[in-house]
C-alpha cells in the first residue's frame, strides 16, 4: 500500500476532531441540530486551517444515512464515500482551474437535477475568488435562490477579491490561524499514535515553522521524519529548517548589551558557520526582545520558559526604551534583507545599527553604562571611536545633573545646560509676562518646521529665573522631543537674550496658543470670503435666474 501523508491520514472526519475553529463548529452544529441550514456558506482564512475539511464534514452531516446532525456516523456508505472523495452528490470544484463563465453555466444546469444518492447535493467551490467577473455574475441568481436540494459551500484565502454581491448572499465564517500550542499539541498526539519518538524542542520548532497552518505543520513533520530518519531530534530539525540555537541569539544580545562590537561580529562569524536563514535569526532576536520587554513592563505576563536567552538578566541590564528601539530595528532589518547586497551583510548591518544608535537621553542599561561601554550617566555617545568630537554631546561625571528629567508620571520634562542659562552676546534679557508675549516671541523668532509646530501648540505657563515653563496637550505629546526643545531654546535665545531652560507640563486641553489663534484667523477669513461671495450681485443673479447653487467648501479666500 502506498504511503499516505500525515496531513491526509489525520484529516479530521468529524467536528469533534477539529483543532481550533470552535466558533465555526458551534454555529454549524446549532444550524444542523435545529434544521435551520442556510443555502450558501463562505469559509475564509489562510491556507491549512480547515476550510475544505469543515466543508466536507458539513456535507457528511447533511447526507449521513443515519440522519442529519452535527456528528455524522462516519461508518455508513455515504460517509465513507465522502471521506474517500467519491460521493457523486458532493461536487468539489477548483475555481482556480475552472474560472470561465461556461464552467459556471454547466454547474448551474446540473444543479437543477435531484441528488443521485443523498438528500442534498453539495457544491464545494475552492478558491472561489479566482472566478472571473462574468462567472460571478452568472452564479449570482442561483447562489441567492438555489433549488431546495442544493447547498453551496465556498472557500477562499482572499475574501477581499469577492464581489459584495456574493458576500451578501452567503453566511461568512472566518477561520482563525492556529497558535503554536494547538499545532504542537496535534503533532504530539499524532506522533504518539504513530509510535514515533520525538524531542519536545523539535516539535516546538516545527510548530513555529508552520506559521499558523496545521497542514503546513504536518507537511514539515513529514519532511522532518524523512530528514532525521525517524528520530526527530532538535538538532536535525534546526538544520532542516535553517534555524539557529537560541544560545546563539542570547550571545548576540549579550554582546549588544555590553556594547562590544568585536564580540558581536565574532558571534556573527560563528553563526555563519551554520548557514542560517538570517531572516529567521532576526525573527528570533525580535521574539526574545518581546519577552524581555514583557519581563520589564508587565512581569505577570512574561512567559516562563526554559530559554537559552537569559531574559531576567537582560531585562535588568537593558533600558526599556532601548529594547523597543532594538525590536524595531530587528523588524525593519528583517524586511530589508532582500534589498541588502547579501543576507549576511543585511543581518550584520541590522546588528551594527543596534550597536550604533541609542535613544536620546537613554543609556545602554537600565542602570548606568556597562564597563567598557560608551555611555556615561543617562546620556549616550556614538559607539565608534572614529566619530568626530564635535558630533559628541559633552560628557559628564556621575555627580553632575542630567540634561533630561522626567517626573514619575512622565508629565514634566525639562531641557537644561550642566550650568546656568548662557547669555547671548550683546542682547538684553527679556522676561515673558503672559501668553501674548509668548506668541509675539515665537512669531518673531523665525521658527520653521517641527520646531514652529511645537511652539505653536504650546501654552505659556510662566517665565522666571531663566526657566520658561510651557504646557502641551496630551494629544500632541509626540512633540515633546529633546532635540526639538533644544532647537526651540536656541531659536528663542536672540529674543530672550539667553538660552532658556524649557520645562514642559502636560495639560488636558490646549489654552490660547499661536496655533489656536492662526486657526481662528483662518476661520474668520474663510467666513468673510463666503459672505462676500454670496453677497456679490452677479452671483445672486445667476442663482435667481439660472438656478445656480453654491458648491460647499469650494470658496477660498483670495489670499490663500
pLDDT tens digits, 213-222: 899 899 999 9
Residues 479 and 537 in one domain: no
- Does residue 365 fall inside a structural domain? yes
**Cβ neighbour number for residue 106 with a 10 Å cutoff:** 13
Residues 17 and 42 in one domain: yes
- Does residue 399 fall inside a structural domain? no
Residues 477 and 521 in one domain: no
Q: Which helix (H) or strand (E) holds 264?
A: helix 261-272
Instruction: Single out the residue in 191, 218, 241 at which a domain terminates.
Output: 241
- Torsion angles phi and psi, residue 480, rounded to 5: -80, 75
CATH code, domain carrying 482: 3.30.300.150
Output the pLDDT for position 151.
92
Output the pLDDT for position 365.
53
Q: Give the global pTM.
A: 0.55
User: How far, in Å, are 423, 440, 451, 472 from residue 466 at the CA level?
Assistant: 10, 18, 20, 20
Instruction: Single out the residue in 134, 158, 174 at which a domain terminates.
Output: 174
- Torsion angles phi and psi, residue 301, rounded to 5: -95, -5
Q: Which domain holds residue 232?
A: 180-241
User: How far, in Å, are 47, 139, 219, 241 from residue 210 at the CA level?
Assistant: 11, 35, 9, 11
As for how many domains the chain has, the answer is 5
Residues 262 and 230 in one domain: no
Output the pLDDT for position 347.
94
Instruction: Single out the residue in 207, 241, 275 at which a domain terminates.
Output: 241
Rounded to whole angstroms, how far apart are CA atoms 528 and 524? Answer: 6
Residues 204 and 253 in one domain: no
Residues 160 and 96 in one domain: yes
Output the pLDDT for position 191.
92
- Does residue 477 fall inside a structural domain? yes
Residues 256 and 357 in one domain: yes
pLDDT tens digits, 265-303: 999 998 888 778 898 899 989 989 998 999 888 877 756
CATH code, domain carrying 163: 3.40.50.300
Which residues in the chain show pLDDT less than 70? 1-2, 242-245, 302-308, 358-417, 419-421, 423-427, 477, 508-511, 552, 559-560
CATH code, domain carrying 295: 1.20.272.10
Output the pLDDT for position 416.
40
Residues 359 and 473 in one domain: no
Residues 70 and 130 in one domain: yes
User: Which grid cell is 464?
Assistant: 522666571
CATH code, domain carrying 235: 1.10.8.60
Residues 305 and 254 in one domain: yes
Beta bridge partners of 375: 380
Amino acid at each position: 500500500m502506498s504511503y499516505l501523508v500525515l496531513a491526509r491520514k489525520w484529516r479530521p472526519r468529524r467536528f469533534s476532531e477539529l483543532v481550533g475553529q470552535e466558533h465555526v463548529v458551534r454555529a454549524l452544529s446549532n444550524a444542523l441540530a435545529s434544521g435551520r441550514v442556510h443555502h450558501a456558506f463562505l469559509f475564509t482564512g489562510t491556507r491549512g486551517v480547515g476550510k475544505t475539511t469543515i466543508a466536507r464534514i458539513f456535507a457528511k452531516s447533511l447526507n449521513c444515512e443515519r440522519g442529519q446532525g452535527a456528528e455524522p456516523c462516519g461508518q455508513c456508505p455515504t460517509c465513507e464515500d465522502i471521506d474517500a472523495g467519491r460521493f457523486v452528490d458532493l461536487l468539489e470544484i477548483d475555481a482556480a482551474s475552472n474560472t470561465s463563465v461556461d464552467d459556471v453555466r454547466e454547474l448551474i444546469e446540473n444543479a437543477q437535477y435531484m441528488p443521485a444518492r443523498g438528500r442534498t447535493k453539495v457544491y464545494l467551490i475552492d478558491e472561489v475568488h479566482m472566478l472571473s467577473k462574468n462567472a460571478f455574475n452568472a452564479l449570482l441568481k442561483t447562489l441567492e435562490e438555489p433549488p431546495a436540494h442544493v447547498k453551496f459551500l465556498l472557500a477562499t484565502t482572499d475574501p477581499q477579491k469577492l464581489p459584495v454581491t456574493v458576500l451578501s448572499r452567503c453566511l461568512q465564517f472566518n477561520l482563525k490561524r492556529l497558535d503554536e500550542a494547538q499545532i504542537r499539541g496535534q503533532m504530539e498526539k499524532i506522533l504518539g499514535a504513530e509510535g514515533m519518538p520525538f524531542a519536545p524542542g523539535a516539535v516546538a520548532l516545527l510548530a513555529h515553522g508552520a506559521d499558523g497552518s496545521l497542514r503546513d505543520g504536518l507537511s514539515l513533520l513529514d519532511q522532518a521524519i524523512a530528514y532525521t530518519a525517524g528520530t526527530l531530534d532538535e538538532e536535525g530539525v534546526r538544520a532542516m529548517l535553517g534555524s539557529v540555537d537560541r544560545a546563539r541569539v542570547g550571545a548576540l544580545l549579550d554582546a549588544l548589551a555590553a556594547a562590544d562590537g568585536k564580540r558581536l561580529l565574532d558571534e556573527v562569524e560563528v553563526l555563519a558557520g551554520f548557514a542560517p536563514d538570517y531572516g529567521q535569526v532576526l525573527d528570533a532576536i525580535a521574539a526574545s526582545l518581546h519577552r524581555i520587554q514583557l519581563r520589564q513592563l508587565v512581569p505577570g505576563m512574561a512567559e516562563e520558559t526554559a530559554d537559552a536567552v537569559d531574559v531576567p538578566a537582560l531585562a535588568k541590564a537593558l533600558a526599556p526604551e532601548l529594547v523597543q528601539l532594538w525590536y524595531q530595528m530587528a523588524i525593519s532589518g528583517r524586511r530589508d534583507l532582500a534589498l541588502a547586497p547579501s543576507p549576511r551583510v543585511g543581518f550584520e548591518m541590522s546588528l551594527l545599527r543596534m550597536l550604533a544608535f541609542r535613544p536620546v537621553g537613554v543609556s545602554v542599561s537600565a542602570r548606568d553604562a556597562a564597563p567598557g561601554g560608551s555611555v556615561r550617566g543617562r546620556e549616550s555617545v556614538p559607539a565608534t571611536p572614529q566619530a568626530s568630537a564635535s558630533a559628541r554631546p559633552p560628557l559628564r561625571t556621575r555627580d553632575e545633573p542630567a540634561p533630561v528629567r522626567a517626573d514619575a508620571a512622565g508629565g514634566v520634562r525639562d531641557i537644561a545646560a550642566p550650568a546656568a542659562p548662557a547669555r547671548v552676546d550683546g542682547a538684553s534679557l527679556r522676561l515673558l509676562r503672559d501668553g501674548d508675549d509668548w506668541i509675539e516671541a515665537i512669531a518673531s523668532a523665525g521658527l520653521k518646521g517641527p520646531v514652529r509646530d511645537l511652539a505653536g501648540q504650546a501654552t505659556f505657563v510662566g517665565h522666571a529665573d531663566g526657566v520658561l515653563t510651557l504646557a502641551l496637550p496630551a494629544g500632541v505629546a509626540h512633540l515633546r522631543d529633546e532635540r526639538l526643545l533644544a532647537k526651540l531654546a536656541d531659536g528663542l535665545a536672540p529674543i530672550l537674550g539667553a538660552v532658556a531652560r524649557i520645562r514642559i507640563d502636560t495639560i488636558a486641553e490646549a489654552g490660547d496658543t499661536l496655533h489656536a489663534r492662526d486657526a481662528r484667523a483662518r476661520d474668520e477669513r474663510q467666513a468673510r470670503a463666503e459672505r462676500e461671495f454670496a453677497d456679490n450681485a452677479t452671483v445672486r443673479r445667476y442663482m435667481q435666474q439660472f438656478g445656480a447653487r453654491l458648491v460647499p467648501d469650494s470658496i477660498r479666500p483670495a489670499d490663500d
